[in-house]
């Protein structure tokens, strides 16, 4: 839309944009300011909008709960594990669904797509029972294995691979590539942007996951970050400094991650929404 706006209209637009940006970022900013201000006990009512920087809360957090580093490692293992599986599984099946003809293909893909509408809350009870049966409860496997079954990535990779020209595949065949060779040498390199977007998305989603982990995990040393941080509230009811530090420390990695991979991120949001 070509900009033909008067000075006062432009002022109005900029005011609206800056105000909404502040509203958008304020809660996170307020959390960080509190986390980096030495608060022992109840915070003061007057918010320190520009704090006297202090790592006091973080020191007490890491000294007070030996589990916090465990939670970080657990979250890394779960999010990293699930993401690695997805990068391989979804690209393989996305390729087959996009470019190959085989009996049952449409039925399988239709089944996968139709379950995108099923809320995960439906499967919670059976997942709990299955995990209990196989003695997976209270282990990270209870999070990783069901995590690998999120079907969105299959859909995303199929969408992307469909847009790749089929001639490349034919050319590789003529050059003597086997089936796996085509996948490995042609499809995989071309999919890098989509795989990156999928990986980033899957990682963040699983890092932030809460409902299933809070159900599946019991002992504090096995918690993931989200579950651990939620429990800090009960444990340190009167020491808000520790809670603020714990919550920020769980949010910071994802924020840094976003700032580094911004483009892939926004591309992933866009790609996920493109209709077939």
Partner 1 sequence: MVNFVRKHGWSYLFVLPSMLTFSVFVLFPTLWAFVISFQKYSLVRGGAWMDPIYQNYVDAFTRLNGVFVSAIQNTLIYSAFTVTSSIVIGLVLASLIQPLSHRMRTFFRAAYYLPAVTSSLIVGMTWAYIYNAQWGFANYLLRLVGIAPVRWLSNPDIALGSITLSAVLTVPATAIVLYSAAMGSIPTEYYEAAELDGAGPIRKWWNITVPLIKSTTLYLVVLYTIASFEVFERIYVMVPSGVGNSTQTIVTQIYNNGFKDLNFGVASAQAFVLFVMIGVLAVFQFRALRSDVEY
Query: Considering only residues 243-262, where is the footprint of partner 1 by CB under 8 A?
Result: 243-244, 247, 250-251, 254-255, 257-259, 262
50 sits near partner 1 (criterion: CB under 8 A): no
**CA-to-CA dists, residue 136 to 139, 221, 271, angstroms:** 6, 15, 34
**Contact region for partner 1 (CB under 8 A) — 25-33, 57-65, 66-74, 166-174?**
25-33
Cβ proximity to partner 1, 103 vs 176, nearer residue:
103
Closest CA to 146 of 162, 126, 171, 161: 126
Cβ density class 137-163: b for 16+ within 10 Å, e for less: bbbbbbbbbbbbebbbbbbbbbbbbee
Contact 147, 208 (CB under 8 A): no
Q: Could you say which of 50, 132, 161, 260 contacts partner 1 (CB under 8 A)?
A: 132
Closest CA to 200 of 94, 83, 95, 89: 83
**Contact region for partner 1 (CB under 8 A) — 65-73, 128-136, 169-177, 190-198?**
128-136
179 sits near partner 1 (criterion: CB under 8 A): yes
Contact 159, 276 (CB under 8 A): yes
Q: Could you say which of 7, 8, 44, 107 contacts partner 1 (CB under 8 A)?
A: 44
**Contact region for partner 1 (CB under 8 A) — 54-62, 65-73, 190-198, 200-208?**
200-208
C-alpha 244/C-alpha 241 separation (Å) is: 5
265 sits near partner 1 (criterion: CB under 8 A): yes
**Contact region for partner 1 (CB under 8 A) — 62-70, 166-174, 189-197, 267-275?**
267-275
36 sits near partner 1 (criterion: CB under 8 A): no
Give the footprint of partner 1 on residues 147-176 (CB under 8 A): 148-149, 151, 154
C-alpha 120/C-alpha 7 separation (Å) is: 50
Cβ proximity to partner 1, 56 vs 267, nearer residue:
267
Cβ density class 217-247: b for 16+ within 10 Å, e for less: beeeebbbbbbbbbbbeeebeebbbbbbbbb
1 sits near partner 1 (criterion: CB under 8 A): yes
Give the footprint of partner 1 on residues 74-113 (CB under 8 A): 85, 88-90, 92-93, 95-97, 100-103, 105, 108, 111-112
């Amino acid at each position: 839309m070509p900009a033909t706006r008067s000075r006062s209209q432009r002022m109005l637009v900029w005011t609206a944009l800056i105000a909404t940006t502040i509203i958008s970022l304020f809660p996170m900013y307020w959390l960080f300011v509190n986390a980096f201000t030495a608060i022992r006990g109840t915070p003061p009512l007057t918010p320190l909008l520009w704090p006297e920087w202090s790592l006091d809360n973080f020191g007490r957090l890491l000294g007070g709960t030996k589990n916090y580093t465990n939670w970080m490692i657990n979250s890394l293992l779960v999010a990293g594990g699930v993401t690695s599986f997805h990068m391989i599984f979804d690209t393989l099946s996305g390729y087959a669904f996009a470019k190959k003809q085989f009996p049952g293909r449409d039925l399988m893909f239709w089944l996968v797509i139709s379950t995108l509408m099923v809320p995960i809350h439906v499967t919670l009870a059976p997942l709990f029972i299955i995990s209990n049966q196989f003695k997976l409860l209270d282990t990270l496997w209870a999070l990783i294995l069901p995590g690998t079954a999120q079907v969105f990535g299959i859909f995303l990779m199929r969408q992307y691979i469909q847009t790749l020209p089929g001639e490349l595949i034919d050319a590789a065949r003529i050059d003597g590539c086997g089936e796996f060779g085509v996948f490995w040498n042609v499809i995989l390199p071309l999919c890098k942007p989509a795989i990156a977007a999928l990986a980033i998305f899957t990682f963040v989603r699983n890092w932030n996951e809460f409902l299933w982990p809070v159900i599946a995990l019991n002992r504090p040393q096995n918690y993931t970050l989200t579950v651990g941080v939620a429990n800090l509230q009960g444990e340190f009811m009167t020491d808000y400094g520790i809670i603020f530090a714990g919550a920020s420390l769980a949010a910071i990695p994802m924020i840094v991650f976003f700032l580094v991979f911004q483009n892939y991120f926004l591309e992933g949001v866009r790609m996920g929404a493109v209709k077939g």
